[in-house]
Structure 1
Amino acid sequence: MYSIEDRTVEVETRIGAAPARVWTLASDISVPPRFSGELLETGWLDGADGPRVGARFAGRNRNGYMGEWTTTSEVVEVDEPRTFAWDVLLPDGRRVAAWRFDLRAEDGGTVLRLSMRVGPDRSPVDDTYESDPEKGPRLVGKRLRMLEGGMRATVEGIRGLAEA
């Protein structure tokens, strides 16, 4: 599900595995590139080797509309086995996207939710949205739908690994 009004995307799946097993996969930054289609690779920065608040990691991305680019993200919340969250930063320090995995135990398994919200700081999505009153909202909607597809593939990929 995506919402252009509040600039969010959220996907969820039920996994037949314990939260601890799902947490191991959701908090491993090397897992999403296996499934997303746009995120090609990730790597911890500055000597970090796992999820902890303040740790940073790089991501290399590519898609047919935007080309290839690299991001830097900073972990902002780690609550094992419930939450792993990070913000995407621009070189000037602006936080342009907030991403998070949320897990909850349910009926002997786990519900895994992956969400993304544009912001809180001004981002290239804001520039696109405002650049053309007719095309901007349509382009942003298309971008959010693209993200939703990659996010859905990621949570389903994690489900497959966790249930294997």
Structure 2
Amino acid sequence: MIKLSRPMTGEVSLHMGAPPEKVWALVSDVTRIGEFSPETFEARWTRGSTGPEVGASFKGHVRRNGVGPTYWSPCQVTKCVPDEVFEFAVGTDEVTVNNWGYRLEPSGTGTTVTEYFRIEPKPYMRLYWTLLGPLRGRTNEQGMRTTLERMKAVLES
């Protein structure tokens, strides 16, 4: 068994001066992710899905680390509670590689938004995370921070 030196998860939170319903409309509209993410430059609903609901499918067009390689990632919505949480699994129907999501919490006159990821604890993902986890974890954290700051700018403009 591979022993992990750090957890295979991460999250970044940011307060936004917008109510949860406005934040929800933004984070659950996957077709807008290209405006915010430094890695995923476009996404579209697939398999007949047209919006956020548990089981809905979409694919994200990713430019790894913002420079390449470029590929499409199939995704499926796994948690969908309006104004509270939007989460999706990345991978095929048979194999989930990781999970990404947003938690929304009303806070004062706005919303605290937490973007998070969770790597699936499969043996090959444990090996990947043991070897590349520190680097990938920093990249993910920077990307989440950038994504949330760009969303905040749109919501507060």
Q: Report the TM-score, using the length of structure 1 for normalisation.
A: 0.85
Supply the AA of the counterpart residue of 1:78.
C
Consecutive unaligned residues in structure 2, runs of 5 or more = none
Say whether the 8 Å CA contact 1:56–1:74 is kept in structure 2: yes
Supply the AA of the counterpart residue of 1:42.
A
**Which of 74, 77, 99 is 2:76 aligned to?**
74
Q: Report the TM-score, using the length of structure 2 for normalisation.
A: 0.88
Question: Tell me, what secondary structure is at the counterpart of 1:143?
Answer: helix
Specify whether residues 116 and 143 from structure 1 end up closer, same or farther in structure 2 by C-alpha distance, changes over 3 A only: same
> What is the match of residue 152 of structure 2?
159
How many residues align structurally?
153
1:108 deviates by 1.5
Say whether the 8 Å CA contact 1:48–1:55 is kept in structure 2: yes
Does 2:60 match 1:59?
yes
Q: Which runs of structure 2 are paired with 1:91-106 in the superposition (5 Å)?
A: 93-106=94-107
> What is the match of residue 15 of structure 2?
14
**Counterpart-to-counterpart distance in 2, 1:59 and 1:116:** 15
1:12 deviates by 0.7
> What is the match of residue 33 of structure 1?
34
Specify whether residues 4 and 157 from structure 1 end up closer, same or farther in structure 2 by C-alpha distance, changes over 3 A only: farther
Give the % identical residues.
Answer: 30
1:147 deviates by 1.3
Supply the AA of the counterpart residue of 2:141.
E
Cα RMSD after superposing both structures: 2.0
